[in-house]
Structure 1
Amino acid sequence: MMLKSAGATCTLLGFSEYPDLQVPLFLVFLAIYTVTMTGNLGRITIIRVSPNLQTPMYYFLSQLSLIDLCYSPTVTPKLLKNFVVEDRTISFIRCIMQFFILWLFAVAETFMLAVMAYDRFVTVCKPLICTVVMSPKLCASLVARPYPWGIVAPMMLTFFLLHSVIVSVSCSDPSISQVLCFVIAIFNEGISLVIMLTTYTPIFVTFLKTPSAGGHQKAFSTSVSHLTAITLFHGTVLFLYCVPKSKNSWLIVKVGSVLYAVVIPMLNPLIYSLRN
């Protein structure tokens, strides 16, 4: 992305350096976007209308689908448009708003996965009191909690990003703002991973203490889909943090960002649907 100071616009470079691949990439991302919207909307609808799916696990799954349903349209339509038009500019205000909304749902999904980890903990480790502990009131409270921080964290990130851009334009050192952005991102990632580690440690202990093979499968199978979703989401995020600065690092970051913002929202409903 490049900032044009004259018109206060940004140019979204995307994959423009591969002109021969514009049509194939457009078709690929269009298919991904279609599956994402259809899969997540379909999962929400099925969970809402099916009496057999009125459980805490499926309630959280519908909330995860709702986040993905809002997450993907933040960037994918503009990405698709840039494959077929020559003008890849976006106003600076729209660019900042896109950044804010993307981070809002990214942070919300991060902590929604952590909330789902707690549900898995109660289901596996406290099965006899699961329905009492995971009451509708508690489930609604747990779902509501990721959103306040999902708004505050992007606001801080957006502020520091704007400060970094202004400082760069003034030919000053923007490193302080960039470091603060990095600290907030690491804080989000660290807290969510600690929550999930804390909840999954007892699950693994319960798994090891279960004497029968059938008991092993019953205790662990309910968590397989969630662990897969966690691995994809957080694995991609941590990979992006660890990409070394090199000649090819920009391409790696772009591919990782596409996986993080475009592909994973498509994979989540597929992961859980195939399991169930």
Structure 2
Amino acid sequence: MKLKDLEIFVVAPPAPGWGGRYWIFPKITTDTGIVGYGECYASTVGPKAMRAVIEDVFERHMQGTSPEEIELMYRRVYSSGFTQRPDPTVMGAFAGLEIACWDILGKARNRPVWALLGGKINQKIRSYTYLYPQPGEDASEFWVNADMTAEAAARYVKMGFTAVKFDPAGPYTIRGGHEPAMSDITRSVEFCRKIRVAVGDRADLLFGTHGQFTTPGAIRMGRELEPYNPLWYEEPIPPDNLLEFAEVARHVRIPLATGERLTTKAEFGTLLRAGGVKILQPALG
């Protein structure tokens, strides 16, 4: 059984567009007619460019290969072209294609993929949600209004979510880390306080920042959030600043989390050896 054909579906997310600019799903068909589907990580470039990357990765490194030879295909993708270093665009393309390979292998063996990956431990798992405004609500007001966000948190908990994530510390910027203003810290504390009151002990609080702060700024912010006992403090500094995560962890009593913008075990290994994080968040697709 060999990988033969590739078809790519680029899909616009439903309005109002939460979840990224677009979603991209590869469909691989083998020479025996088995079809597998995957989902590619696609936040670094536009859809036309990402489609071209996926096609190139498949045609040069995967087409004609057995879907069982996943590690071989990974080594080709990772090490060809004199790169051999983390790259979220190319690795994001391969990740979705690898998912499709696992789908093919499960279908070929008439087994669920979890059975091929070591078996099922849990009958169910917890799920969290980001806090979003409802249709018709003013999104710009929602992101800075703790009362509106707390109402949304209570609404999602009633739906069955056991954790809620929010990022009230300010809009995402292109800076490589900045000091949060005192008003940012005050607003973040207000969000944590009101959301904690709204959900009680029925849900965990997950505080995200999208890598916005310097190390001292992340420490200042984190210390103010400790009384509300968040389950994690996500990506408080830029994700490429791997060793500085350990410095934040030494001064903040909230578990640090990161990983959605890291791509290989080498990056995660550096974080773990330094003692920088307790929760890993790889973006698989």
TM class by shorter chain equals: under 0.3
Q: What's the TM-score once normalised by structure 2's chain length?
A: 0.24
More strand by share: 2
- Larger RCO (CA within 8 A; separation ≥ 6): 1
Q: What's the TM-score once normalised by structure 1's chain length?
A: 0.24
More helix by share: 1
